[in-house]
Each structure stands twice: as C-alpha cells, then as structure tokens.
Amino acid sequence: MNLLVVVTFFLGYMEWGTNNRAFVFNAAAALYNSLPNDLEGFLNPFVLIPLAGLIVLVITFFQAPPNRKLSLIGLACLGVFMVFLFFIGLTSLNIRIIVSTLPFLACAFLSLRLNWRKAVSE
C-alpha cells in the first residue's frame, strides 16, 4: 500500500504563475538535478516535509510487516502537500489539479483504513 501512496504522490500536478506547470515527479527531478548548486530549493518546507515523508515510506518498503507508525508519519508528510494542492485546485477551480490529487487521496484514505484496523485489532 505504501508503494501505491508514493506512486500516486508523484502524479500530482501543479500550476503557478502564467506558464509554469509540472507534475510532482518533474519538480522532484528538477530539484534533484540542481542539488549540488542550489541547496536553497531544499530548504522550503513544501520540499522538506514531503521529502521526509518519502524517505520514511521508502524505509517501510524494506520492512517485512511495514511499521504502522512509520507508514502513518510518511503518509501525513505527503498528505500535507497533496491536501494543499487539492485545496488550491478547488479554490482556483482547476480541474487538472483536483483530478491529479484524487488518486493519492483515495490511496491515503485506504491506507488510513488499513492502518486503523490494524491498531484496533492489536
């Protein structure tokens, strides 16, 4: 489930200014390519928080049963960014942004339900 959350996170679509638009995976690749020269790009909270979430979720890929707390922490870090994108899409009535965030929100909801059931049954 965590892999699906990460994949749908990268499908998020952003628009800003007049002619600026990118998918999250394009923006992440651009930040990664500018890494040695532009460290200021990583100091933005909207980069650091999702990056921390990605790192935490990648750690759970290598755990036999993924740690529930780590999964929820990673989901929360990614969710902050995607919910923000979703509300930007709603307020600007940009259907492309709204539709691009829905797969992540659905996977996040399913992940929360699965992790919540694990907590209740333990």
pLDDT in tens, the chain (122 residues): 889 999 999 999 999 888 899 999 999 898 888 877 777 777 888 889 999 999 999 999 999 888 889 999 999 999 999 999 999 999 999 999 999 999 999 999 999 988 777 655 65
What does the pLDDT read at residue 36?
73
Asked whether 42 and 54 are in contact (CB, 8 A), the reply is: no
In the chain, what are the domain boundaries? 2-121
Q: Which amino acid is at 6?
A: V
What does the pLDDT read at residue 118?
61
Q: Determine the longest span between alpha carbons in the chain, in angstroms.
A: 51
Residue appearing with tokens 């500018």: 34
Could you tell me the pTM of the whole model? 0.86
Q: Using a CB cutoff of 8 Å and minimum separation of 24, what contacts does 113-118 make?
A: 114/1, 115/68, 115/71, 115/72, 118/68
What does the pLDDT read at residue 109?
95
